[in-house]
Amino acid sequence: MADKSLEVKELAFAYPDGHQALYGVNLELSRGERVALLGPNGAGKTTLVMHLNGILPTMQGSVKVAGQLVDAKDKVGLLKIRHKVGIVFQDPDDQLFMPTVGEDVAFGPYNAGLRGAELETAVREALQLVGMYEFIDRPPHHLSFGQRRRVAVATVLAMKPEILVMDEPSSNLDPASRRELAEIVRSLDITLLMVTHDLPFAYELCERSVILSGGVIVADENTADILRNSSLLAKHRLELPKGFAL
């Protein structure tokens, strides 16, 4: 098995309108590593994430997930990649659309070919990982926002991905839901790339952080060291909450 979950080399990308979003990005994540992707709005974070499972085609450079090249022209290979890269969106309602929690979590594995007891096991295990199994028959819209976010995580975990990508996972959560989500993430044996503006959440969950700014990685260090560098944070429009101490 490859010891690298993710290898991004010299990745550059420009949109059709000419906007250059990425300029030669290099990034590696080891298997089981938890890394925070930080940066101001418009830095290129979403563009980078959309390359990880081939939503955006690789124009220049390369992306490998568990040693497999992400190639938009290879339809069979791309399907495998999309099973390996699970993305949890900022708004859980973008991922929850079935009548019940269980059906939402079953959707991905079912379409990947699981049936019967194997499918039931995948759903049960994913919901147990996020502490939501007792809600399996509940309509998602009857859940709190924090509960819906946990179910959204379960929909991805049910696919047993190589990499879990979380987009602003702590946004709009009350303190208790935020703590519960942090405990869940810590318990997962999975490679994590967490896109966030929540610097304390990054510090709590990710030993390493990367700052992407202007389409370029400008820092890749221990999270604590980055958060202690006030001039670096200020230069790239990142701020710690008032009174926060490392």
* Domain-located, residue 115: yes
* Domain-located, residue 242: no
Question: What's the average model confidence in pLDDT over 9-21?
Answer: 96
* Domain-located, residue 244: no
* Domain-located, residue 180: yes
* Domain-located, residue 170: yes
Please give the angle made by the CA atoms of 76, 190 and 217, to the nearest 5 degrees.
80
Domain residue limits at 58? 4-235
Q: Report the candidate in 7, 55, 3 with the shortest Cα–Cα distance to residue 27.
A: 7
Q: What is the pLDDT of residues 75-111, one digit of tens each?
A: 899 999 999 999 999 999 999 999 999 999 999 999 9
Q: Which residues pair with 38 in a beta bridge?
A: 211
Q: Report the candidate in 78, 33, 76, 70 with the shortest Cα–Cα distance to residue 48.
A: 70
* Domain-located, residue 116: yes
Counting the structural domains of the chain, the total is 1
* Domain-located, residue 243: no
CATH code for the domain in which residue 190 is found? 3.40.50.300
* Domain-located, residue 246: no
Tell whether the model's pLDDT for residue 123 goes beyond 80.
yes
Rounded Cα distance, 7 and 172, in Å: 31
Q: Scan for tokens 């260090």, then name that residue.
A: 221
pTM of the model: 0.93
Rounded Cα distance, 100 and 95, in Å: 12
pLDDT score at 1:
44
Cβ within 8 Å of residue 195, ≥6 positions away: 36, 37, 45, 46, 49, 165, 166, 167, 168
Q: What is the pLDDT of residues 150-168, one digit of tens each?
A: 999 999 999 999 999 999 9
What SS3 state is found at 58? coil
Question: What's the average model confidence in pLDDT over 34-58?
Answer: 95
